[in-house]
Structure 1
Amino acid sequence: MRPVIIGMSCGTSYPDPSRLLFLGKSLDYGEQRLSAALARAGALPFLLPVLPDTSMLAALVERVDALVLSGGSDVAPGVYGEAPLRPEWAGDPARDAYEQVLLGAALAQGKPVLGVCRGVQLLNAALGGSLYQDIGFQVPGALVHRDAARYDDNEHTVRLHEESWLAPLYGAREILVNSVHHQAIKALAPGLRACAWAPDGVIEAAADDRRDIYGVQWHPEWLDPGSPHFARRSAGDPIFAAFVARVRVRAGLA
């Protein structure tokens, strides 16, 4: 029986005069630990490149069994009908457009989707929800969800909905995760339901189980056995294993 094939959205490094390698060129890239996490779950991960022809992007999605929307840059407020409150929160409209094509194709083809960090934000915004452009600015009493100096050393607990897809993976109502985001879900998109919350009430996971659409705000791929925090934080591999299992069923590979 063939393995599950998972397509991953990529980030783009735009032309940068200070970058001597590939000077003046755009680069598509993927984060290695996300690919490794999917591989450990038994999937074959493939990076889906940015292509100007949207029909070719849809054709790429046809070749995979599921889509993972990866982490990275901010989602542009225009996706959910707002203007940036500050210039630095303008986001990445080019990446948003590319990922919306991938997402639209996956949904039209009935393919499962997993959003990681930026991925769950894009998922929510593209499906009709909205985002906090900056948690610290817009959520009174919020935790520090992103600390640039500490990066994934930053952490907090997450409370899981007892009837969510996440709760059975951990056998607990509360887990400890990393936190590397300054945007977050504000209003949930129609069809999505909240599955986890930070102590300050910020939504940390969402899902539409009927369509096998899932998203988490933290980075489970960085909660792997190689992490220096592995012994005390909740492992990320169960999330990828559960997603790949659902993909296998959906694709008729179980």
Structure 2
Amino acid sequence: MKLNKPTIGIPAEIRTFNGTLRNNVNEGEVKAILRHGGLPLLIPTRNPDVVTEYLPLVDGLLLPGGTDVAPRFYGEEPIPQNGDIDPLLDESEIRLIKEFIHAQKPIFALCRGMQILNVAMGGNLYQDIESQIATPVFQHSQKNNISETAHYVDIESESKLASIVNTDKLLVNSHHHQAIKQVADELHVTAKSGDGIIEAVENSDGSIMGVQWHPELMFEGDVVEDKLFEEFLGRVKSIG
């Protein structure tokens, strides 16, 4: 049965609440999808062989933030600064990403989501930017409330991202210690922070976009961040 509204798949993290394991998605992502006329659909990630069965049910894929990406998925061993990982989540999301790309369905990736997107498409990551980058970097894991802004990003003027936010400099929040190192061949860097960290990517036709920050925590009070979700849902609706 075809639904009247576009469905947006969100891969779920496993979290423990009162001693019980639960499939978890972020409320901000759910609210942003609903605001712009979509229906969020949680995708369980404990069985990578099952996740691709959701493909016919889902029109677009939202890749959320979360744990570190296991470095084995980009051919490295973990360094001491590498944080919590969830290899089943990584494998499930990598399979989803590849299937969505093959099916030419839109993808919007946030923070860790942009990192796993890059890995799935053949790129790699800094496991820890403060210890692996020689030059000083900004505070990318901000101490103030994550719904508030932390630093600026410089946006490529000819990018799809620039056309959405209508500026070449944007103040964003920041909550990460990993980042894209080598960008995948089919992705283009569309924003960087002043210290050189990659802050946004997209593919050649703009059907795949990723940002390193968390617009889902800012969109209700920030018109520009809200436009990112509006455009994503518009992309999904246009091919529905």
Confirm or deny a common fold (TM above 0.5): yes
8 A contact 2:65–2:113 mirrored in 1: yes
TM-score in terms of structure 1 length: 0.86
Q: Does 1:199 align with 2:187?
A: no
Which of 105, 122, 128 is equivalent to 1:128?
122
Cα distance change of structure 1 residues 220 and 82 upon mapping to structure 2, 3 Å threshold? same
Determine the C-alpha separation between the residues in 2 that align with 1:11 and 1:223: 21
CA contact (8 A) 2:48 2:95 kept: no
Query: Hey, what does 1:12 align to over in structure 2?
Result: 14
Report how far residue 250 of structure 1 moved: 2.2
Aligned to 1:116: 110
C-alpha distance in 1 between matches for 2:198 and 2:131 = 16
Structure 2 counterpart of 1:147: 142
Shift of 1:134: 0.9
Contact 1:207-1:215 within 8 A present in 2 as well:
yes
> In the alignment, is the contact (CA less than 8 A) between 1:112 and 1:247 conserved in 2?
yes
Correspondence 1:40 to 2:42: no
Task: Tell me which moved more, 117-126 or 40-49.
Answer: 40-49
Quote the offset at 1:108 in angstroms.
2.4
State the alpha-carbon separation in 1 of the partners of residues 94 and 34 from structure 2: 25
Q: Which residue does 1:93 correspond to in 2? A: 87
**TM-score (ref. length: structure 2):** 0.91
| 8 Å CA contact 1:117, 1:217 repeated in 2 | yes
Number of aligned residue pairs? 237
**Cα distance in structure 2, aligned partners of 1:67 and 1:213:** 10
Q: How well do the aligned residues superpose, as a CA RMSD in angstroms?
A: 2.0
Distance change (3 Å), C-alpha of 1:104 and 1:42:
same
- Give 1:211 deviation, angstroms: 6.7
1:137 equivalent to 2:131? Answer yes
Is residue 2:226 matched to residue 1:242?
A: no
Instruction: Give the whole-Å Cα distance in 1 for the aligned partners of 2:191 and 2:8.
Output: 25
Deviation at 1:148, TM superposition (A): 5.2
Identity %: 35
Q: Which moved more, 1:234-243 or 1:194-203?
A: 234-243
Distance 1:190 1:41 in 2: 31
Q: Deviations over 1:136-188 (max 9, x none)?
A: 11222111100356544461001111111111122211010100111111000
SS of match in other structure, 1:34 = helix
Counterparts of 1:45-64 in structure 2 under 5 Å? 45-52=40-47, 54=49, 56-64=50-58
Check the 8 A contact 2:48/2:88 in 1, yes or no: no
* 1:87 shift after superposition: 6.0
More displaced stretch, 144-153 vs 118-127: 144-153
1:57 deviation in Å?
Answer: 1.5
Q: Which residues of structure 2 form unaligned runs of 5+?
A: none
For 2:110 and 2:166, locate their aligned partners in 1 and report how far apart those are by CA, in whole Å: 21
Counterpart among 154, 157, 161 of residue 159 in structure 1: 154
